[in-house]
Amino acid sequence: MSHSWKNKRVLVTGADGFMGSHLTERLVKEGARVSIYIRGNSITGTVLYTLKNLAPFEKTFKEIITGNIASQDAVELIKKNDPEYIFHLAADAYVPNSFEHPREVMESNLWGTVNVLEAVRQLPRVKRAVCTSSSEIYGTAQYAPIDEAHPLNPTSPYAASKVAADRAAYSYFNTYRLPISIIRPFNTFGPRHTYDVIPKFIRLALEGKPITIYGKGQQTRDFTYVEDMVEAFLVMGHHPRAIGQAVNFGTGYDVSIQKTADLIKSLTGTRSPIVYVPQRMAEVHRLICGSGLAKKLFGWKPRVSFKEGLQRNIDWARENWL
């Protein structure tokens, strides 16, 4: 279902992150009037920020909002911006960070989402608010593939924070009948990603350093290329059947971490050895997406294969990291 974003007032939180920057760039190219919400510091009345991914687009933004999404101030800042569409991606998304800072991660991910929802509740002209959940909410697959009816079994404080935010978003839809949709992306990868397993392996491979695998490398993930996930976000942002829905997006194929490392070694031509270290805390052993609902509701399906996506990611890394 086609949709024109031209001249639509759109606010993206977490816009300068990996996924947020790709989505924001696409919205700008589609002609939307985009505002972004990013972290910033205020010193003697001057707001300081640095755009790492969106610098080329800085002059195109309707407004650059800076602040902590988990602060109560966020509600008024979003209301003042008066967007028609909100894509809420701001989060502390690095799982291991939640092992050492569980409270801070919970504040960012849950209260940041509640602040966005409170703003939406007080903005009667909002047409859609997309809240970003995570495949981590499911924990290890009890059956495969994981559909939206799968039990929610978060294994880490990060995952628990995303369950809480996910269900908070649904509660605001259910209670106030707000135009909210919830996207549950499975592991997304591509250019600009700097943490998580694929960018970590690519960087180590290109630098000829040992590639470190936690455990035996048999844990699996459903990796989706960022270009396909941008389409998923846009669909959840405009399709009328997305309102009130929590929808999985992924390829339906899971790949072991061992195989991922082997393929990256092959595509980069590196001589990096693979070394094994003890299993990470709160490890999810299998994630594989059941995206039947996305296909049924929207006709969505991924178009970029895992190997092609890895090659694009490696090509980008060679140009930007070396």
pLDDT in tens, the chain (322 residues): 568 999 999 999 999 999 999 999 999 999 999 999 998 765 555 667 889 999 999 999 999 999 999 999 999 999 999 999 999 999 998 888 899 999 999 999 999 999 999 999 999 999 999 999 999 999 999 999 999 999 999 999 999 999 999 999 999 999 999 999 999 999 999 999 998 999 999 999 999 999 999 999 999 999 999 999 999 999 999 999 999 999 999 999 999 999 999 999 999 999 999 999 999 888 999 999 999 999 999 999 999 999 999 999 999 999 999 8
Global pTM value? 0.96
Catalytic residue (choose from 37, 138, 158, 170): 158
- The Cα 87–Cα 238 span in angstroms is 11
In the chain, count of helices (H) and strands (E)? 11, 15
| Residues 232, 297 contacting (CB under 8 angstroms) | no
9-321 fold: Rossmann fold (3.40.50)
How many Cβ atoms from other residues are within 10 Å of residue 130's Cβ? 26
Both tokens assigned to 139: 């924990």
CA dihedral sign, ordered 10, 15, 16, 21 = negative
Does the active-site annotation cover 253? no
- The Cα 118–Cα 78 span in angstroms is 10
* E-state strands within 100-254: 128-132, 180-185, 188-189, 211-214, 220-221, 224-225, 246-249
